[in-house]
Amino acid sequence: MNDNNLRQFIDAVNSEVDSKIELIEKEADEKCTELLETAENEALNEAYRKIRSCVTEEKQLNKMTVSKAEQEARIKVLTYREGLVGKIFDSVDDKLADFTQSDSYVSFLEGLLDGEKIDSDTVIYLREEDMKYESALRRKAGNECSFEADPEIIYGGLSVYDRKSSVLINKTLDNMLDEQKKDFGSNYRLA
């Protein structure tokens, strides 16, 4: 009976060990599954973060590329407009040169003196090429004033300077053209 008891004891111990082994294996499988799921979730989360980061970087890169292209397009448009404005005012320069060589230019200069108070303290500035009109302008202005060439006057016209009050009235074609360029730039939003 001893053998039988021993056998039952060994079978009971083996049965207990088998059940413990099964329990340990089951717990190990569950832990393994849990760890694998956690690792998989972490890997998926990391992959998602990387994908979001790449998408964000691509969006920023795309935005910068579009902004750069828009900037370059604006620069091209402005450059083209400046070229057109340059052509327009080059044409004006030519017309001014033709006008200052015409017969009506002297009358224009005389008209610029209309309404001006001219006396012995008055200096009328002309461009060097227009000094030839001094005698015609002196008849209009009177003999009291003086005439001087002004190297700053490029296109024509004249300036009237009162020495007493130190007031210069600029009636030059240069000044008129500059004003037109400013008005043109602001009216057509070229600047």
Domain boundary assignment for the chain: 1-71, 102-187
Q: Is the model's pLDDT at 170 over the cut of 70?
A: yes
Amino acid 188: pLDDT:
66
Confidence bin at 142 (pLDDT 50/70/90) = confident
In order of 28, 158, 169, 176, the CA distances from 179 in angstroms are 91, 16, 14, 5
- Quote the pLDDT of residue 150: 96
Bridge partners (DSSP) listed for residue 157: 172
Q: What's the pTM?
A: 0.58
pLDDT tens figures, 59-86: 898 888 888 889 999 888 888 878 877 7
Place 168 in a pLDDT band, splitting at 50, 70 and 90: very high
Higher-confidence residue of 54 and 17: namely: 54
The band of 1, judged by pLDDT with boundaries at 50, 70 and 90, is low
> So what's the pLDDT on residue 32?
80
CB of 147 closer than 8 Å to CB of 137: yes
Confidence band for 190, pLDDT divided at 50, 70 and 90: low
| DSSP structural state of residue 119 | -
CA 157, chain centre distance (Å):
37
Strands (E), 52-182: 122-126, 146-149, 157-162, 167-172
Q: What are phi and psi of 122, to 5 degrees?
A: -95, 135
Q: State the CB neighbour count (10 A cutoff) for residue 102.
A: 10
Tell me the pLDDT tens digit for each residue of 154-164.
999 999 999 99
Give the domain 102-187 fold. Answer: hypothetical protein PF0899 fold (3.30.2320)
The confidence score (pLDDT) of residue 151 equals 96
Measured distance CA(68)–CA(81) in Å, rounded: 20
